Homo-oligomer: A and B are copies of this chain.
């Protein structure tokens, strides 16, 4: 339910409505527009006496929300949410590219890739310190040591860091090192983790589960948003189907569908959604053509020696080509690449 306040109604009237909402055990989310304020009401709406509210001063009208997700919906917040990331803004007109290795393997290797992706125009560095692996006997990541290397790579390159968090009790530690907490596909419905990420108020990159519906993805985002943490970016990373020539099936429909259903920024991970580096550039172009706000890409200098996901990693050389292609597509849809550190430093 949304309460649309009258244009330029005084602050005290808004405050009064908020208090009324909280008195009956519900939550109020304020959304300040240029002219008017909208108050989102979340909770068991059946207890609301609609007539009572309509008699309060300052209220123009009351609008129901038809989706099970509320704060995530475009009905609730019509304008695009912008997700600030160290200078650039995800969700804004500029396309944002996050790149780096699947997992952090060594200090030197990470620094090398970080500098390569920065030079190619990436806006942020990705890399896993904690790795969710199907087998308990596979490489599980370097842990806190990996986080330290990521922090050092940020120091050196100026790129903000995106890295995965796998358990609620890891949230404070990872948040200390990372600019964005990534919640992986396997944990999309790990509600304890979603709560902890919401409470942290730290930016979150939320990946769609391998067989999650789009509505379930928005409901997972709602868990984070319901803690007042609005800094959430959604990531399509391929779904599981019967097709076997690719690791997953990129649900390209999800890009325009999500952009119409939610105000949150939407990016695509073509490395996982194809599972094969040969198809990454084509699907990256498709994503931006379809309206994605950004990309997250796996890059490795020697893919065949990577400890994980080598088959789907681009070399730095191919990554440079991909960035150029994506730039052309961005311009064809009336957008551009977000200003990059590489350009900034070249200019100075």
Contact = CB atoms under 8 A, between A and B. Distances in A.
B289 A213 contact: no
A135 B222 contact: yes
Contacts of A325: 333
Contacts of A329: 289, 329, 332-333
Contact of A242 (B69, B240, B261): B240
Interface string A40-75: 001110000000000000000000000011100000
What is the count of identical protomers in the complex? 4
Contact of A168 (B167, B256, B332): B167
Contacts of A333: 285, 325, 328-329
A136 B226 contact: yes
A299 interface: no
A104 B145 CA distance: 43
Classify chain A: how many residues form its interface, as a range.
35 or more
A152 interface: no
A242 B245 contact: no
Contacts of A239: 241-243, 249
Contacts of A168: 167-169
A271 interface: no
A253 interface: yes
A134 interface: yes
Contact of A211 (B135, B215, B240): B240
6 contacts: A137-B222, A241-B242, A256-B279, A256-B283, A282-B290, A289-B329
Which 3 pairs show the lowest CB-CB distances between chains A and B?
A211-B211, A167-B192, A289-B289
